[in-house]
Structure 1
């Protein structure tokens, strides 16, 4: 029943081609992992269209994920994207640990554990390899070092170890905004993003959690469509009926007025061509 969760990739070379990368030589370095994460976030979008628009069941078997995302040029959410990346890293000889987590966005209550993450070990160092969170999130490997700060694509993040083995990823703001605030002697309020529990999760644990995310009326994934992708110089997204494109020149926002416009934006900016 659950064997497909643990199967190997049908075609790792096709996955590397999808990322626009050559298969790195073992053992992988931190730079290799950074390139993989950035390419994944850039070339494979985060999206929930099967859940929100089409009400299709989410299959978490590796062959099913490969067929949907790599062959079918689609995206997915954490239980799909991080699972597929985990399989790719294992195929490349990397030691990985599947783990569970939660969103830290302020909703006035503690959000339930509804996130699937990856912790990677390279030599003596451990990192978060995240490609399945809607954002903001680092576009590189995140070191599991309490108090560590990193800058990624102009964004600054901080890592904190909390009680119970929870690693919190905190968004500090853009590097430009932080520098300007320092010059004025002001503080920029940090934004907690997500937390991962530093303990191995069985892949079967992900099945009921993903089922809740994809079917429950209180799940954010069933309530409105979300599509986003990192670009070379920013990001592009559709949330509900709002299209947003961020570049160094600024932010473009407009309302998506029709299904035809939505499909055209999907194809142009995310490489997704939906069936008629």
Structure 2
């Protein structure tokens, strides 16, 4: 996946990465972490009633040109363009969110990257309990610490299942398999997530930006900051939202 307008130097400038670029694990991990900390997971366009374009050039214009964020298709789509420009092999996977009380369709887009003979889950667009670095598909049922978060991959009923340790308990996040998925396959899910009245993205602001040891989360009128094991949470007024978006998420309302 590559847009005509995508520039690897412009991408690196957008995420603040100034290191050397190679088609290796160290570079992919670094780009993933820099992008997580620079590009917010956000649904402001959905709330404004604007269509979410899956056109790669539109994604480049939104995130790199206009310094915005996006949700999984846009954020992971941009990362896929960077991987393509690097010459790294990857594929999309369609994941089923598993934290809802009822079974949901496979609406989440993630990436499996092939590096140095191994396969790694890379996902920059899952929000609060998203992984913070590539996660090996070969390491199953083993807790893996990433900064202050702990994750684990299991294999259940034909799917890989990503789990996060939440308040001392393992919580399923999503399941996926390695069935080939094309970019166009996400069009129905994108339409549902951006228009259906029951979708979480159409109801209230949901904005997440990762930090070196935690994340900032704005959900509705609740603003939460997580730093290691320290969590602070408070309600904000509509008048405060613009300031919070600019200061903590790098976004303009």
The alignment's TM-score, normalised by the length of structure 1, stands at 0.86
Q: Secondary structure at the match of 1:89?
A: helix
Judge conservation of contact 2:90–2:114 (CA < 8 Å) in 1.
yes
Does the 8 Å contact 1:173/1:190 carry over to 2? yes
Counterparts of 2:176 and 2:28, CA distance in 1: 19
Q: Tell me how far apart the structure 1 counterparts of residues 153 and 229 of structure 2 sit (CA, whole Å).
A: 29
CA contact 2:223–2:235 (8 Å) conserved in 1: yes
2:176 is equivalent to residue 200 of structure 1: no
Q: CA deviation at 1:22?
A: 3.3
1:257 offset after TM fit, Å? Answer: 1.0
Shift of 1:104: 1.3
Pairing 1:126-275 to 2, within 5 Å after superposition: 126-145=119-138, 146-164=140-158, 166-173=159-166, 188-248=168-228, 250-258=230-238, 260-274=239-253
**Match of residue 36 from structure 2:** 41
Alignment gaps of 5+ in structure 2:
none
- What 5-or-longer segments of structure 1 have no aligned partner? 175-187
Q: CA deviation at 1:7?
A: 3.3
Instruction: Specify which of 90, 93, 104 is matched with residue 98 of structure 2.
Output: 104
Q: 1:6–1:61: 8 Å Cα contact kept in structure 2?
A: no
Hey, what's the Cα distance between the residues in 2 that align with 1:137 and 1:17?
A: 23
Counterparts of 2:21 and 2:59 in 1: how far apart (Å)?
25
Please say if 1:76 is aligned against 2:60: no
Could you say what secondary structure the match of 1:46 adopts?
A: coil
RMSD over aligned Cα, in angstroms? 1.7
User: Could you say which structure has the larger radius of gyration?
Assistant: 1
Deviates more, 1:242-251 or 1:92-101: 242-251
The aligned residue for residue 185 of structure 1 is none
Q: CA shift at 1:37, angstroms? A: 1.5
Q: Which residue of 2 aligns with 1:14?
A: 10
Taking a change above 3 Å as real, the CA distance of residues 19 and 6 of structure 1, as seen in their structure-2 partners, is: closer
Count how many residue pairs are aligned between Structure 1 and Structure 2: 252
Other-structure match for 1:183:
none
Deviant stretches of 4+, over 4 Å: none
